[in-house]
Amino acid sequence: MEIATESVALATADGRIPCHLARPAAGGQYPAVIVVMEAFGLNGHIKAVAERIAREGYVTLAPDLYARFGSPVVSYEDAPKAIEYMKKLDDAKVMAEVGACVEHLKGRPEVRAALIGITGFCMGGAVAFKSAAHHTADLKAVVAFYGGASLAGDSALLARITAPVLALWGEKDQLIPLDLIKRIEETMRRLGKTYESKVYAGAGHGSFCDERGSYNPRAPGGFA
């Protein structure tokens, strides 16, 4: 499917946030997906993921959550710097920025406003979980890639999620052990949530990113 891309800037109480938007080039209305970046910033890979989803018939919007820090893009080899930026993020401000993304998508004529979902990777996966708990009226589906398991103990937050959640993990993820993956699954089941978990055999952290050494060619299968 042919797509069109553009840069958009959304107004928030904390300033303007640049985003990468991709959409089918053909006319009509489409469901939408907010694509949340990893800790490395809004880099070429995340933009490519947004475009890949758009080719499947979605309008996608990838916000730069590091805009307030000057929009840095951190090398994959410099994880400590990425973690430094990630730890500077304020949850309330991030939720406001996701809310701005939702409102922008709802206002676009090519978007089916009742069909907006969110996906994210690592840090972005946790943001996707939190966003689903915060924007319950607007986010209708969640796909989290190796992120959010640390929320297993936050039953109050997880209880607010109403959208179905698909969580994708790596068996050999050095940052997210299998017992933590099991804990969040048990918590979501106990809370009566619609939750599907898939663990990829042999896959480590960052297994979806084809620009990193951790890439596992079987991991993208969960994306389909």
| Active site (catalytic) residues | 122, 173, 205
CA-nearest of 164, 120, 129, 172 to 150 is: 129
